[in-house]
Chain A
Amino acid sequence: MKKYILVRALYSVVTLWLLVTIIFGLVRLTGDPVAMKAEAGADPAYVAQLRHSWGLDQPLHRQYMGFIGRLLRGDFGHSFEKSLPVRDIYFERLPNSLKLGFAAFLISLALGVPFGMLSALKVNSVWDNAGKVIALLGLSMPGFFVGLVLIIVFGIQLGWLPVLGKGSSAFVWSAPSTWATFWFRDWAHLAMPAFALGWYFSGAMLRITRSGMLDVLGSDYIKLVRLKGVPEAVVVAKHALKNSMIPVLTFAGLNLLIMVNVSVVIEVIFNWPGVGQLLYDALSNRDFPMVQGVVLMSGLLIVLLNFTIDVLYGYVDPRIRLSR
Chain B
Amino acid sequence: MATIPIATDQTVAVLRVARRGYRALQNVPVIPLLMLGVLTAMAILAPIVAPHSKLDPVKPLRGQCLAKFNMPDCPYVDNAPPFWAAGGTLDTPLGTDSLGRDVLSRLMHGARISLIVALTGTLFAGAIGTILGVLAGYMGRWWDEIIMRITDAWLTLPSLVFAILLSSVREPSLWNVVLILGLVFWSRYSRAVRGEVLTLRERDFVKLAEINGIDKLTIIRRHLIPNVMNTVMVLFSLQVGVAVIIEASLSFLGFGVPPPEPSWGLMMAQERESLMEGRWWLEVFPGICITMLVLSANMLGDWLRVRLDPQLRNR
Contacts and interface: CB of A to CB of B under 8 A. Distances in A.
**Do A and B interact directly, with beta carbons closer than 8 Å?**
yes
Contact of A139 (B155, B294, B315): B294
B228 interface: no
Contacts of A211: 312
A142 B160 contact: no
A18 B275 contact: no
B249 interface: yes
B310 interface: no
- Secondary structure class of chain B's binding surface, majority of residues: helix
Contacts of B153: 15-16, 18-19, 22, 299
A299 B154 CA distance: 9
Interface in B127-155: 145, 149-150, 152-155
Contacts of A260: 158
B249 A144 contact: yes
A136 B298 contact: yes
Contacts of A29: 165, 168-169
Interface residues of B, number: 42
Interface string B271-315: 010011000000100010011001100110010000000001001
B158 A279 contact: yes
**Secondary structure call for the A interface:** helix
A123 B315 contact: yes
Contact of B157 (A16, A137, A207, A295): A295
Contacts of A132: 299, 302
Contacts of B299: 132, 136
Interface string A149-170: 1001000000000000000000
A51 B298 CA distance: 49
B57 to A, nearest CB: 25
Interface in A89-135: 123, 132-133
A291 B276 CA distance: 33
B161 A143 contact: no
B269 A144 contact: yes
Interface of A: 11, 14-16, 18-19, 22-23, 26-27, 29-31, 123, 132-133, 136-137, 139-145, 148-149, 152, 203, 207, 211, 214, 218, 260-261, 264-265, 268, 279-280, 283-284, 291, 295, 298-299, 302-303, 306
14 contacts: A11-B145, A15-B152, A18-B150, A19-B153, A23-B161, A30-B169, A133-B295, A140-B294, A142-B269, A148-B275, A207-B302, A295-B156, A302-B155, A306-B152
